[in-house]
Structure 1
Amino acid sequence: MAPRGCKKKKRDIKRGPVSDLSDDLLVEIISLVPYQSTRCCKCVSRRWRDLVSHPDHRKKLPRSTLAGIFYQTFRGERFPAMLCGHQSVSGNWCTSMDCSLSFLPNCKRVNMYLLDSCNGLLLCLFWNQPSHVNGFDYVVCNPATEKWVTLPATTWSSKVRTARLGFDPSVSSHFHVFEFVSTTGVVDVNMQGHDTGKKTVGVYSSRTGVWTHGVVWDNPLSISRFPSSIFFNRMLHLSSDNNLVVAIDVEGNRRSIRGPMPDSTRGVPNVYLSLGQLHLANESVSELSIWALEDFSSENWTLKHSVSHLQLLGREYSMFAGNYRVISIHPEHNVIFIVCEQLYMLTGPSLTKLMAYEMDSRELRFICDLEWGCRTPYLPYVPLLSEPFADGQ
């Protein structure tokens, strides 16, 4: 009798009020809870897990927000010398996440270079045999779920200095990787350290699993070694020399958007996505200015904020007036994240502070001192709980 009673009880639970709800109604209910709670919803049952993870429901369910910053770390003579670090900027959101990415293959036996972050995914380069193409492996991973895929290397990967990731989970579960290459196969670098000979882009599609080359551009691109980029409206956007923002689609076609200011004397401005608009952060000799693109077709920019370096840093941090950089703009708030570096000629940066600047209140907030050996790139991270890898590990 007891076993039958237990079975009857389980059957009654399955046929309870919540179980009788339609998928659409259940998704509407889940959409009302905070984003972090959707992770708990995935643990309720297989049905709930599938609903939360389904691509058709991504636009309805709450979106994640900026949780932290991934960055490169250099360990000197120890091997592997290049690893990654992470710093939370939203409390203890990522306490259970493996921020060292130790779940990746061979991560303790090869150098790992962080290349890009896009909507919850990271693009990394594993470098084991510098003199041979087979020593290069691109890996795209989801730190929140510890899933990853390895991309096939290309014959030009050993000569690539810039590769970027394109992924928008609200549009598709597939991602793209963009490799900027020179038609001569030679890396051309100018006095500012910018690649000057980029004439085409190789694009990898996770849908097809192959690399393709776009058209050869008439005018080569000149881009910095670590340009920030955003994937917006199915196009990769990044800054180039000559006051241009370059937009490249997944077929490798390119268009340019004229920026709002003359060439920056402190380097090429960086692009960010905030509040649904493309933003440009420009550091001139005396001030930091933030511009928002109002319309793509007319190339109309609006000055959103400007502040002098001394006003930004104040007396307490005035020593960093020439050694700070913008690393991100919050996707949902008027907040700028910056790192301040105290540089030493031989050892590299040994003191790096992470800070947040509130544009509305004009207040600078100290977040933390980052670990020794941290260096660019600093990649904003927005967790992704759904799984884009159909065939990943």
Structure 2
Amino acid sequence: MDDCGYVDGVEIYSSETGLWNYMESEWDPDTTIYDHTRTFFNGMLHFVQEGIAILSMWKGRYGGTFNFPELEEVEDVFAWMACFIGRSQGKLCYLSAYDTAPSNLSIWVLEDYSKDEWTLKHKLTTDQLSEKMNCKCKTDHVVAVHPECNLIYYIAGGDTLMSY
């Protein structure tokens, strides 16, 4: 990525040669990657493209796009945030937040990888995430999903790792 977050190329390590190889990006020049959230799933590396979709890459080549599951339902697109992509129980999962008071967190799963159809598994508020904490700062940040269980891990109050 360049200094502005645009993807200009990728370095790929070959376990066969023991060398890193640089490849120019085949993505649109305006492609930006959200945060540093990515996951390796189904033989491809998946990224969240800021404000648009989930991109996949295979051996440095563009692998495909999955549309965000809930953009059609969002009233104010500027209040919506992609926040995490991962894998759990053999499926690609995606978490997004809608900045209301309190914020809403949606947990989606791609049941069939060959289709672009997401299933909403759970929806909760940040108040529900932090109700067991006695803190004024209720900022939550998802950091991981459990690979085998229905658990998310998040930072609450800025300095506490919790699970839900």
Change (3 A) 1:203 1:238: same
Alignment of 1:223 onto 2:33:
yes
SS at match of 1:311: helix
Contact 2:146 2:152 in 1 (8 A): yes
What is the CA-CA distance between 1:308 and the residue it aligns to?
1.4
1:257 to 55, 66, 87: 66
Change (3 A) 1:316 1:308: same
1:302 to 119, 122, 128: 119
Contact 2:109 2:119 in 1 (8 A): yes
SS at match of 2:129: helix
The whole-number CA distance in structure 1 between the counterparts of 2:108 and 2:85 is 10
Q: How many percent identity over aligned positions?
A: 28
TM-score by length of 2: 0.82
2:162 to 355, 366, 369: 355
> After superposition, where does 1:129-140 map in structure 2 within 5 Å?
none
Decide which structure has greater helix share.
1
Change (3 A) 1:264 1:275: farther
**What amino acid does structure 1 have at the position aligned with 2:23?**
G
1:333 to 139, 149, 154: 149
> After superposition, where does 1:49-60 map in structure 2 within 5 Å?
none
SS at match of 2:136: helix
**2:9 alignment counterpart:** 200
Contact 1:229 1:272 in 2 (8 A): yes
- Equivalenced residue count is 155
The whole-number CA distance in structure 2 between the counterparts of 1:240 and 1:299 is 16
Alignment of 1:314 onto 2:131:
yes
**What amino acid does structure 2 have at the position aligned with 1:354?**
L
**1:108 alignment counterpart:** none
TM-score by length of 1: 0.37
Decide which structure has greater strand share.
2
**What amino acid does structure 2 have at the position aligned with 1:278?**
L
Query: Where do 5+ consecutive residues of structure 2 fail to align?
Result: 72-76
Change (3 A) 1:202 1:293: same
* 1:27-46, Cα deviation, whole Å (9 max, x unpaired): xxxxxxxxxxxxxxxxxxxx
Contact 1:215 1:252 in 2 (8 A): no
Query: Where do 5+ consecutive residues of structure 1 fail to align?
Result: 1-180, 189-194, 343-351, 358-393
Change (3 A) 1:340 1:218: closer
The whole-number CA distance in structure 1 between the counterparts of 2:104 and 2:150 is 18
The whole-number CA distance in structure 1 between the counterparts of 2:8 and 2:92 is 24
**1:233 alignment counterpart:** 42
